[in-house]
Amino acid sequence: MHRETLFQCPNCTKALIKGEKQYFCPSGHSFDIARKGYVNLLLPSHTGSAKPGDTKEMLFSRREFLDKGYYEAFSNKLNDIVLSVLPTGKERGEGVSILDAGCGEGYYISRLKDRLKDYQNDELNLYGIDVAKQAIHYAAGRDKDTFFAVASNYHVPIMDGVMDCILCIFAPRDEQQFRRILKPAGRLVVAAPGPWHLYSLKKVLYENPDVIGQRGNVYEGFKLLEQCNVHYNILLKSKEDILNLFMMTPYSRHAEKDILESLSEYKTEVDFNIFVYQKT
């Protein structure tokens, strides 16, 4: 059974059709479907690293940590915002299409799908891409209904002008690519860590940690419609959760985890900024 998708061929940019075992385009390019159901659309020219993206260890820790619900309140707020910007009624046309660009292990897009349960299956087109193959492997194992692909946010394998909403959560952004794939009235929702994100944890790891957040600003071709901040405290209830949080962050690349070994419980802040943009 063949099915049209919103994926485009990374070689020739023509539409990809999903078959039983492969995606293929009219030009004859084909891409095997993995047993988990995802497809690899990342060409060698799209990355300079043999294994781009987060490591397997980081992804495993992030999956274990997120599944404990520590970021659930942030995810709920994110879903509220997405629902508020999606087209309604006749505006839906043939359905609503959403891309999670840099979806990681699929936690956020999976929870969004559960929130969109009022939509019929044929009305909802959910897509997720990540440059790390292991991330997509985890994501596809979590959710069989979303179209997942190994791909870069700098070479998004999605057709022009088809997305109602793009989510970009703590991931690199390419404004030109996002503008290209959004519908004229589409929305880009960006989430980035705020200046106080995990600050108490940073104070354990570093003598004088900086108060620096990740910028969520998008300039070229977009207009900021709204922004909000999500800030609350989390109590990490086990040594395993503390180490998983450490391992899923960039701190694990240049700080020693030994200092955390004696902790069995720890309280820290989470601080997120969410921005909603429209194409100009």
92-149: pLDDT as tens digits: 666 899 999 999 999 999 999 999 987 766 688 999 999 999 999 999 999 998 999 9
Mean pLDDT of 71-80: 97
Does residue 224 fall inside a structural domain?
yes
Question: Are residue 12 and residue 137 in the same domain, yes or no?
Answer: no
- Please tell me the distance from the alpha carbon of residue 136 to that of residue 37, in angstroms, as a whole number: 10
Please check whether residues 114 and 2 belong to one and the same domain.
no
Lowest mean pLDDT among 10-14, 20-24, 202-206: 202-206
Residues 13 and 109 in one domain: no
Q: Indicate whether 22 and 145 sit together in one domain.
A: no
Q: What angle do CA 110, 271, 100 make, to 5 degrees?
A: 25
Q: Is 94 domain-assigned?
A: yes
Looking at the 3D structure of the chain, how many domains does it have?
2
Tell how far CA 159 is from the center of its chain.
18
Who contacts 57 (Cβ-Cβ below 8 Å, separation ≥6)? 247, 252
> Do residues 82 and 189 lie in contact, with contact meaning Cβ atoms separated by under 8 Å?
yes
Residue 50 has pLDDT above 70, yes or no: no
Same domain, 129 and 159: yes
What confidence score (pLDDT) does residue 120 get?
Answer: 65
List the one residue out of 61, 66, 52 whose CA is nearest residue 247.
61
**CATH, residue 224:** 3.40.50.150
State residue 171's pLDDT score: 93
HEC string of the chain?
Answer: CCEEEEEECCCCCCEEEECCCEEECCCCCEEEECCCCCEECCCHHHCCCCCCCCCHHHHHHHHHHHCCCCCHHHHHHHHHHHHHHCCCHHHHCCCEEEEEECCCCCHHHHHHHHHCCCCCHHHEEEEEEECCHHHHHHHHHHCCCCEEEECECCECCECCCCEEEEEEECCCCCHHHHHHHEEEEEEEEEEEECCCCCHHHHHHHCCCCCCCCCCCCCCCCEEEEEEEEEEEEEEECCHHHHHHHHHHCHHHHCCCHHHHCCCCCEEEEEEEEEEEEEEC
**Short-list 45, 218, 38, 206, CA closest to 137:** 38
Rounded to whole angstroms, the Cα distance separating 57 from 254 reads 15
C-alpha 198/C-alpha 214 separation (Å) is 12
136 part of a folded domain: yes
Please indicate, yes or no, whether residues 144 and 224 belong to a single structural domain of this protein: yes
Q: What's the domain range around 261?
A: 52-279
pLDDT band of 211, cuts 50, 70, 90: confident
Pick the closest to residue 193 from 133, 98, 134, 275 (CA basis): 275
Residues 3 and 97 in one domain: no
Is 136 in the same domain as 271?
yes
Query: Is 231 found in the same domain as 133?
Result: yes
Q: State the Cα–Cα distance between residues 183 and 227, nearest whole angstrom.
A: 21
> Is residue 8 in some structural domain?
yes
**170 occurs within a structural domain:** yes
Are residues 237 and 183 located together in one domain of the fold? yes
Query: Rounded to two decimals, what is the model's pTM?
Result: 0.93
Q: Does 140 lie in the same domain as 69?
A: yes
- Are 62 and 176 part of one and the same domain? yes
Question: Residue 179 corresponds to which tokens in the numbers above?
Answer: 């503008």
Mean pLDDT of the chain: 90
Residue 157 falls within a domain, yes or no?
yes
Does 38 map to a domain? no
Residue 213 confidence (pLDDT) above 70: no
pLDDT exceeds 80 at position 226: yes
Determine, yes or no, domain membership for 176. yes
Give the pLDDT confidence score for residue 46 in this predicted structure.
79
